[in-house]
Amino acid sequence: MYCHYFADGVCRSCQWLTKPYQQQIHDKQMELEALLAPFSITEFQPVVKSEPAGFRNKAKMVVSGTAAEPRLGLGATEGQQGSDLSDCLLYPEEIRQLFPVLKTFIRNAGLTPYQVDKKRGELKFLLLTINEKNEVMLRFVLRSQDKIASIRTHLPALLSQLPQLCVVSANIQPVHMAILEGEEEILLTQTQELRQTINGVPLFIRPQSFFQTNAQVASELYATARRWTEALDITHIWDLFCGVGGFGLHCTNKQRSLTGIEISAQAIACAKKSAELLGFEQVDFHALDLTRTIATQGKQPDLVIVNPPRRGLGVEISRYLNVCDAPYLLYSSCNAVSFARDLEELNQYKAVKVQLFDMFPHTPHYEVLTLLVKR
C-alpha cells in the first residue's frame, strides 16, 4: 500500500508499510511460534488477515496548528509543527470525510489547539469511533471546561450537517502532557452510547469504554472464541477484563451462566444492557478491581476467559488461575511477549489451540487467541 505520508517521512506509525503484507503475516507467525516454542504447541491455526486499508474503526487525532487553520493527525515535536493526516488510508472513507467538517467546526467554535511546550490552548485531541452503520461517536479532549459553552452553541449546526453523529462528548484532561484523556467526561448529546453489532451480538460503546480498533478482525476473533467453546461441556463462565462483554456474550447462551468482571463501571453498564437485549438471565457483570476480587467469586467456573491489557495477567492472577478448578482457559492477548510470560506461570494448563489475528496491519503488533486445557 502506497502512503504519501510515509514516503515523505511525515509519519512512521506503520513501521512495516514497505514490507509486503504476506511477508508481514509470515514474520508475525514466526515470531509467535518462536515465543511459544517452549510450550510444545502442536496446533497453530491459519492467521486471520485484515484488510490492508480502511480497517480502523477509531481515529485518535492530535489537534495542532491554530484555531483558524487546525491540523488533525500528529502532534508537534521539538523543532517541528504538527502534521495533518486527514487523508490517512487506515481510516475508512466514512471517517476521512468528517475531518474537513470538523476543522470548520473548530474554526467556528474558536477551539484553540493545545500547545504542550507552551502549556496553552484548549483542544488537545479529537477521538472518533464508527460502527457498522457508519454512525459516529465524537469526543473533544479539552484542557478545561472553558470552551464547553462555545461547543454547545455551535453543536446543533454540526449535528445538522453530520446526522451520523450519534454521541458527542467533551473529555477534560487538564494535565500539561500528551496524555490521551482524563477522568471527567461531559455528554453533549442525549444519546450516551454507540451500538456496534458483531455476529448478532449487540455491544454498546460509551465514551470511555474500550473496544477493538479493527471491527472486521474483532468479529473473526469473537466468532472463533464462540466456535472453540460451544462444544465444550461448560455450565459457568468467568469473563475477566470483560470490557463491554464481547467475549463472554459470544461464548455464553441461555443454558450457561456468566460472571463478568471489569474495573470500568461504564463498560459494565454497557455489558448489562447487551445481556438484557439478548435475553440472558444467568449473567452477572461487576465493576470491580480484578486483583482484589477474583478469589471472592463464589461459583467456580468451567471456563475462564481472560483478555488482559498489554502487560498481561501478571504473576498473582496467573497463579490464582493455575490452582483454579476451571477445566478450560481461553486467553486473548494483544502482546505475545507478556502472554508467553504468563504461560510459564500457567503451568497447570496446556495450550492446545493457537491462532494469530492480524488486528494491526503494517505494524509488528497482533492479537493471539489460545485455548488451554487443565492438565
Cα separation, 16 vs 364, in Å, equals 7
Question: Quick check: is 270 catalytic?
Answer: no
> What are 262-267's contacts with CB under 8 Å, separation 24+?
262/286, 262/287, 262/288, 262/290, 263/287, 263/288, 263/289, 263/290, 264/208, 264/209, 264/210, 266/206, 266/207, 266/208, 266/209, 267/206, 267/209, 267/210, 267/242, 267/243
> Under 8 Å CB-to-CB from 24, ≥6 apart: which residues?
16, 358, 361, 362
DSSP H helices in 11-134: 21-35, 93-96, 99-109
| Distance (Å, whole) CA 103 – CA 111 | 10
**Euclidean distance between CA atoms 4 and 17, whole angstroms:** 11
- Considering 88, 166, 251, 334, which one is annotated as catalytic? 334
Task: Determine contact, residues 149/136, Cβ cutoff 8 Å.
Answer: no
From the list 338, 334, 332, the residue with the least C-alpha distance to 360 is 334
Closest CA relative to residue 201, chosen from 177, 218, 178: 218
Distance between CA 191 and CA 49 in Å, rounded?
A: 34
As separate numbers, helices (DSSP H) first and strands (DSSP E) second, the chain gives: 11, 17
For the annotated catalytic residues, the residue numbers are 334
